[in-house]
Amino acid sequence: METKKTMTQKETAVRLWNYLKPHSFFVILSLVMAAVTVAGTLYLPILMGDAIDCIIGKGQVDFAAIRRILLFGVAAAIVTGVAQWIMNICNNRITFHVTRDIRNRAIEKIEILPLKYVDGHSYGDVVSRVIADVDQFADGLLMGFTQFFTGVITILGTLGFMFSIHPWIALLVVCLTPISLFVARFIASHTYSMFRLQSETRGQETALVEEMVEGQKVVKAFAYENTAQERFDEINGRLQDCSLQATFYSSLTNPCTRFVNSLVYASVALSGALTALSGGLSVGQLTVLLSYANQYTKPFNEISGVVTELQNAFACAARIFELIDETPQTPDPEDAEILSDVEGNVTLSHVKFSYQPGKKLIEDFNLQVSQGQRVAIVGPTGCGKTTIINLLMRFYDVNDGSIQVDGTDIRHITRKSLRSSYGMVLQDTWLKTGTVRENITLGNEGYTDEQIIQAAKEAHSYSFIKKMPKGLDTWITEDGAGMSQGQKQLLCITRVMLHVPAMLILDEATSSIDTRTEQKIQNAFAKLMEGRTSFIVAHRLSTIQNADIILVMKDGRIIEQGNHEDLLARNGFYAQLYNSQFASV
């Protein structure tokens, strides 16, 4: 199996910037508003220092100047508040538009991924990437815009004001700053891999939970609860360990930077006090410097927390970008034909196919099916029956050879038109959350209620649909709660009865239906199959006795071919299968 390269932080940041480009106006506006917010915040200490200097001593207070300073202070506070409000609006817009775009790209990619990707990855892990990882990424990105940029501008602005007041004290602050930066960078560089491991383990846990919830009946029927609990505890324990490690090491950043920041503040206080005693600073200027020293150190604490969140966000973003970067299915050629007026002549010539390289499944498969013929495919489990269906529908492409419909290789036909030409009923039912009508029409609004009801009657599903609270407008969930497996399968059969496709594929289509109803549906199918090429996969041989061609498969090859009577007369493998089902005990 090919090992995919893990995306680095730098590569993730570049990809993220590509998503930010369309919102560059709001990014620039956010930065401008952050600068205005910082400028207003840093201007207030200067006003406070000026006000202190206006209070020289008892009876020597310049009330007019103080009043003027207070008016400037109120104006600065209002401007700062409005700028911060606009900045937050921009940051929220950027964050949630970017996460929307990423989720859209992820869903678009999932829809065009080859089926082998879906078969080879747990659904829970894919869901975790699209939902949980993107949410974590959004939180980190919002924090980055809200606090990171503001913090950086605050640091630069504070240094600028401090240099304007007393360059030597400002230089002392600059000399002590690299210690804080070194500590933050050292810890941040070592937490990225921990947060990535945390995200991957969380995806495994989500996959297990979804698997256990979806198969709850099977879990209980086979008393699998204790084993499931042990598996969950093992994964949850690993998640606990990697989460604790990531959180512990990342949490070291804040106290370490706080220590350095306290050192900076003490240095400014001591050097500033000595300078003020010698007359180099006024009391108001010393107050401003102490206020700036405090404001200068705060962003380091905030940035250290932001860096921790950004490590988590980058780790989550890397996982979702890896999904987006997965190789899609081979696109339809530009000159691909749109299948129309389908006759139903299907030819398989020297087809070879295997799911895994080196593990042979179908070798040199040949078949000629004429319009209107009913082809039944039988054989033991794993012989390749469902694989043939996957190849006919082009869920997988053949490794060698070709499959043709009406003389055209299906690789030169658009997938949409090819699949629209087939009506397919599988053993596994599929319903979506919505009304019964929507589940039958699959969103196609071109059918009238009369057509839907007629199809339901032919599929023998109308008898239970009309007993539902709102009939066709009854709301059902994806798991079909309150419906039996047979009823769910009848709804799937109703779809085919309604759409009347050019060709049919029935893969154990009546496996969950009682014998009496099955006989009625078989009669309806027989009527539907008249003049239509049909492929029938069945384990119960009683359902395919009227097929024009019966293909007996074993180990990916056709070992026998003919109608029911011919195959019984040969007394071969088919006869053994048939007799094993109907021989008297």
pLDDT tens for each residue of 534-577: 888 877 776 677 788 888 888 777 788 888 888 888 888 888 88
Report the 10 Å Cβ neighbour count for 34: 26
pLDDT at 184: 67
pLDDT in tens, 120-135: 777 778 888 888 888 8
The pTM score is 0.64
Provide the β-strand partners of residue 506.
425, 536
d(CA 164, CA 218): 74
- 585 has pLDDT over 50: no
Find the angle CA(26)-CA(32)-CA(37) to the nearest 5 degrees.
Answer: 120
Alpha-carbon distance values, 14 to 20, 99, 303, 368, 408 (Å): 10, 16, 21, 53, 44
pLDDT in tens, 184-197: 667 766 676 777 78
Alpha-carbon distance values, 325 to 40, 180, 415 (Å): 44, 37, 22
Residue with tokens 């020293």: 293
Nearest alpha-carbon partner for 353 in 392, 301, 406: 392
pLDDT at 385: 80
pLDDT at 1: 40
pLDDT in tens, 30-47: 888 888 888 888 777 777
Among 86-95, 351-360, 559-568, which stretch is predicted with the lowest mean pLDDT? 351-360
Average pLDDT over residues 12-37: 85
pLDDT at 165: 78
pLDDT in tens, 510-543: 766 777 777 777 777 777 777 888 888 877 776 6
Q: Which long-range contacts (CB under 8 A, 24 or more apart) does 14-21 make?
A: 15/317, 15/321, 16/98, 16/141, 16/317, 19/98, 19/101, 19/102, 20/94, 20/98
d(CA 477, CA 321): 31
pLDDT in tens, 390-412: 889 888 888 899 999 988 999 99
Residue 534: both structure tokens together: 């049909």
Alpha helices in 459-572 (DSSP H): 462-465, 485-499, 515-528, 564-570
Q: Which residue has the higher pLDDT, 479 or 434?
A: 434
pLDDT in tens, 159-217: 787 787 778 877 877 777 777 667 766 776 667 677 778 878 888 888 888 888 877 77
Among 52-66, 110-124, 241-255, 570-584, which stretch is predicted with the lowest mean pLDDT? 52-66
Round the average pLDDT of the chain to a whole number and report it. Answer: 81
**Using 50, 70 and 90 to split pLDDT, how confident is the model at 85?**
very high
Which residue segments constitute the domains of the chain, with CATH numbers given? Answer: 9-324 (1.20.1560.10), 346-582 (3.40.50.300)
pLDDT at 86: 92
d(CA 490, CA 486): 6
Alpha-carbon distance values, 85 to 80, 91, 103, 447, 578 (Å): 9, 10, 27, 51, 77
pLDDT cut 90: percent of the chain above it: 2
